[in-house]
């Protein structure tokens, strides 16, 4: 198994800062914005961005977790059902500018499910997508991200592994792995 | 693991503690879903489920139907009272005819013990037992245990008294299996004629005095007297039963401790449970009904999700 480092701690800090700056540019005072982290792994990045924006702008943007398990299109098409995670949306989505946050954008199917899941809470004014890693040329649906940490050319057979301190890893590292 | 060990839910006896915990975890998420503005998820949109009821039911059937609709499944309902069963069709023929219409899952209630088990040996579809005679009623036991877990934080180590007509109750047997698997201590209480002779062999305590049972327990699961299953008289009169075994608010207040009152419904008010006890803050009877939908969604989702 070959591992290649594509982002380390320092670079990740820079990337997250840039993503936050882009959000500030587009959302001004964040008065009508909410952040939704996608379960299970997008919530850690969402937390990091939420904290950073709080530090930089002083606004506490509502942060929620969105689980897409029950909205996936591969139910009954895999050996075992996926284990569901907690959805925690304690605010109104109706009329809000939603920023969906996930770690890796791959086929786009999770994002499709996420949009379905989100609409169960109301009709947002706009929806934007922020991802840390965009795996280009692997999309199966017409979906693209508005804020991208890093674009990576990958093969469908490769895997992107995100290790964040918040998930209990030593240091922030993002790897590209060749599956044998 | 995110998969049940069984293809069917025939009884609690056949499933493991891990299965029960997986169902509870999934039900937590579904309970969240049914409290949203849009109470529906598309998971089972390509699944057709037949509710085959050979015995009367209001709550269980409505609860199953609602669970299926919240999961976006297609639902057909069948009740034996207005069907060809009356014309002499066998159980297997009836079910095979339903399955020929491309049905994926069967939810069945039957008056005969073991009917869903028999069916599971002959058909491909997933089967959920919604009560077979006096044997098991697994989804009721799951929702009872889930409600206890919700109210008290855990089931493990809690003392649960099952009070009333144990002899004719499928809820009692399924509850004993489920709660024991989760580590609870169980006591059954009722008049000697309504307790099965060898029930002690299941590892439960037996008590004939309802007040002693209430003093012992954290949770009292009160069962209905199933007059429709009693061919002979097991006690002199309902009035006398209620005098000796009926639970009242006054009795609960005199215990000097808070216990939880549960009832699988339908309640015979004034017989096993007085109105002021059933409607008291001790009672979580309506929470049980709400949890029933979430539990049944979880069971259907997990069974349908495995290839």
Task: State what percent of residues in chain A have pLDDT above 90.
Answer: 62
Section B96-111 average pLDDT: 92
Looking at the fold, whether B97 and B187 belong to one and the same domain comes out as: no
Looking at the fold, whether B190 and B145 belong to one and the same domain comes out as: yes
B2 is a domain residue: no
Looking at the fold, whether B294 and B209 belong to one and the same domain comes out as: no
Find chain A residues with C-beta within 8 A of B305's C-beta: 75-76, 80-81
B298 is a domain residue: yes
> Does residue B1 carry a pLDDT above 60?
no
Q: Does B25 touch chain A (CB under 8 A)?
A: yes
Q: Which domain holds residue B155?
A: 138-285
Structural contact between residues B188 and B130, judged by C-beta atoms closer than 8 angstroms? no
Find chain B residues with C-beta within 8 A of A76's C-beta: 46-47, 304-305, 307
Contact A81 B3 (CB under 8 A): yes
Find chain A residues with C-beta within 8 A of B32's C-beta: 86-87
Contact B41 A87 (CB under 8 A): no
Q: How confident is the model at residue B57 (pLDDT cuts 50, 70, 90)?
A: confident
Number of domains in chain B: 2
Establish how many alpha carbons lie within 13 A of residue A114's alpha carbon, considering only the half-sphere containing its beta carbon. Answer: 26
Full DSSP string of A35-66: EEEETTTHHHHHHHHHHHHHHHH-----EEEE
Q: Does B21 touch chain A (CB under 8 A)?
A: no
Q: How confident is the model at residue B187 (pLDDT cuts 50, 70, 90)?
A: very high
Between β-strands A2-7 and A63-66, what pairing exists: parallel, antiparallel or unpaired? Answer: unpaired
Contact A80 B33 (CB under 8 A): no
Looking at the fold, whether B294 and B180 belong to one and the same domain comes out as: no
Q: Which residues make beta-bridge pairs with A2? A: A178
User: Number of CB pairs < 8 Å for A and B?
Assistant: 64
State the average pLDDT for chain A. Answer: 91
The whole-angstrom separation of Cα B122 and Cα B138 is 21
B240: tokens are: 């006398």
Looking at the fold, whether B177 and B236 belong to one and the same domain comes out as: yes
End-to-end CA distance of chain A: 6
Looking at the fold, whether B161 and B223 belong to one and the same domain comes out as: yes
Q: Which CATH number fits domain A7-23+33-71+85-155: 3.90.330.10, 3.40.50.2020, 3.30.70.1710, 3.40.50.300?
A: 3.40.50.2020
Question: Tens of pLDDT along B254-303?
Answer: 998 999 999 998 999 999 999 999 999 989 999 999 999 999 999 999 99
Structural contact between residues B222 and B261, judged by C-beta atoms closer than 8 angstroms? yes
Is the peptide bond preceding residue B266 cis, with omega within 30 degrees of 0? Answer: yes
Structural contact between residues B8 and B116, judged by C-beta atoms closer than 8 angstroms? yes
The whole-angstrom separation of Cα B175 and Cα A20 is 53
The whole-angstrom separation of Cα B68 and Cα A54 is 43
B170 is a domain residue: yes
Q: How confident is the model at residue B37 (pLDDT cuts 50, 70, 90)?
A: confident
Distances (CA, A) of A178 to A8, A41, A157: 18, 20, 7
Q: How confident is the model at residue A170 (pLDDT cuts 50, 70, 90)?
A: confident
CATH number, domain containing residue B244: 3.40.50.1370
The whole-angstrom separation of Cα B51 and Cα B292 is 16
> Does residue B64 carry a pLDDT above 60?
yes
Looking at the fold, whether B115 and B171 belong to one and the same domain comes out as: no
Q: Does B28 touch chain A (CB under 8 A)?
A: yes
Task: State what percent of residues in chain B have pLDDT above 90.
Answer: 79
Looking at the fold, whether B151 and B132 belong to one and the same domain comes out as: no
pTM for the full predicted model:
0.88
Structural contact between residues A85 and B29, judged by C-beta atoms closer than 8 angstroms? yes
Find chain A residues with C-beta within 8 A of B29's C-beta: 67, 69-70, 84-87
Full DSSP string of A138-154: --SSS---SEEEEEEE-
Looking at the fold, whether B150 and B45 belong to one and the same domain comes out as: no
Distances (CA, A) of B175 to B64, B79, B115, B135, B262: 19, 26, 20, 11, 12
Helix axes B170-181 and B138-152, enclosed angle (nearest 10): 50
The whole-angstrom separation of Cα B189 and Cα B191 is 7
Looking at the fold, whether B18 and B125 belong to one and the same domain comes out as: yes
Between β-strands B48-53 and B105-110, what pairing exists: parallel, antiparallel or unpaired? Answer: parallel
Neighbours of B66 (CB within 10 A): 17
- Pick the closest to residue A104 from A18, A174, A33 (CA basis): A174
Looking at the fold, whether B158 and B249 belong to one and the same domain comes out as: yes
Q: In what order do the strands lie in the sheet with A126-136?
A: A63-66, A33-38, A97-105, A126-136, A147-153
Structural contact between residues B188 and B199, judged by C-beta atoms closer than 8 angstroms? yes
> Residue A178 phi/psi, 5° resolution?
-90, 120
The whole-angstrom separation of Cα A104 and Cα A160 is 8
B172 is a domain residue: yes
Nearest-Cα residue of chain B relative to residue A72 = B43
- For residue B269, the model assigns a pLDDT of 92
**Boundaries of every domain in chain A:** 7-23+33-71+85-155
- For residue B158, the model assigns a pLDDT of 96
Looking at the fold, whether B221 and B92 belong to one and the same domain comes out as: no
The whole-angstrom separation of Cα B143 and Cα B183 is 16
Between β-strands A158-163 and A173-178, what pairing exists: parallel, antiparallel or unpaired? Answer: antiparallel
Q: How confident is the model at residue A83 (pLDDT cuts 50, 70, 90)?
A: confident
B100 is a domain residue: yes
User: What ipTM was reported for this prediction?
Assistant: 0.77
Find chain B residues with C-beta within 8 A of A87's C-beta: 29, 32-33
């Amino acid at each position: 198994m070959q591992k290649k480092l594509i982002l380390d701690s320092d670079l990740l800090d820079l990337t997250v800062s840039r993503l936050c700056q882009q959000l500030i540019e587009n959302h001004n005072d964040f008065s009508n914005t909410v952040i939704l982290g996608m379960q299970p792994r997008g919530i850690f990045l969402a937390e990091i961005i939420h904290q950073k924006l709080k530090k930089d702008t002083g606004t506490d943007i509502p942060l929620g977790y969105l689980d897409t398990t029950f909205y996936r299109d591969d139910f009954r098409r895999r050996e075992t059902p996926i284990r569901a995670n907690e959805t925690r949306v304690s605010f109104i989505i109706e009329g809000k500018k939603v920023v969906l946050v996930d770690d890796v954008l791959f086929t786009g199917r999770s994002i499709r499910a996420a949009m379905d899941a989100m609409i169960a809470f109301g009709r947002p004014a706009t929806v934007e997508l922020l991802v840390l890693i965009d795996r280009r040329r692997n999309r199966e649906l017409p979906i693209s991200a508005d804020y991208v940490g890093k674009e990576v050319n990958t093969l469908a057979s490769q895997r992107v592994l995100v290790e964040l301190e918040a998930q209990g890893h030593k240091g922030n590292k993002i790897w590209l792995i060749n599956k044998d | 693991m995110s998969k049940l060990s069984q293809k069917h839910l025939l009884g609690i006896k056949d499933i493991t503690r891990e299965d029960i915990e997986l169902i509870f975890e999934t039900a937590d998420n579904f309970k969240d879903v049914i409290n949203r503005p849009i109470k529906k998820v598309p998971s089972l949109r390509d699944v057709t489920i037949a509710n085959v009821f050979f015995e009367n039911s209001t709550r269980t059937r409505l609860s199953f139907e609602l669970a299926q609709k919240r999961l976006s499944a297609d639902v057909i309902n069948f009740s034996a009272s207005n069907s060809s069963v009356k014309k002499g069709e066998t159980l297997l023929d009836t079910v095979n005819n339903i399955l020929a219409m491309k049905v994926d899952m069967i939810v069945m209630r039957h008056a005969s013990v073991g009917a869903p088990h028999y069916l599971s040996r002959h058909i491909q579809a997933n089967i959920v037992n919604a009560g077979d005679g006096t044997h098991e009623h697994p989804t009721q036991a799951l929702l009872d245990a889930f409600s206890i877990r919700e109210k008290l934080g855990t089931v493990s180590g809690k003392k649960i008294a099952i009070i009333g007509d144990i002899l004719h109750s499928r809820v009692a047997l399924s509850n004993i299996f489920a709660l024991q698997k989760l580590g609870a201590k169980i006591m059954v209480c009722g008049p000697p004629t309504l307790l099965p002779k060898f029930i002690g062999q299941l590892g439960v305590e037996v008590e004939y005095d309802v007040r002693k049972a209430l003093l012992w327990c954290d949770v009292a699961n009160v069962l209905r007297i199933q007059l429709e299953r009693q061919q002979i008289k097991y006690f002199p009169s309902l009035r006398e039963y209620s005098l000796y075994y009926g639970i009242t608010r006054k009795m609960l207040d005199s215990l000097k401790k808070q216990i939880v009152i549960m009832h699988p419904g339908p309640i015979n008010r004034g017989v096993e449970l007085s109105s002021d006890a059933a409607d008291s803050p001790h009672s979580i009877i309506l929470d049980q009904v709400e949890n029933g939908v979430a539990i049944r969604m979880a069971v259907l989702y997990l069974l349908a999700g495995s290839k």
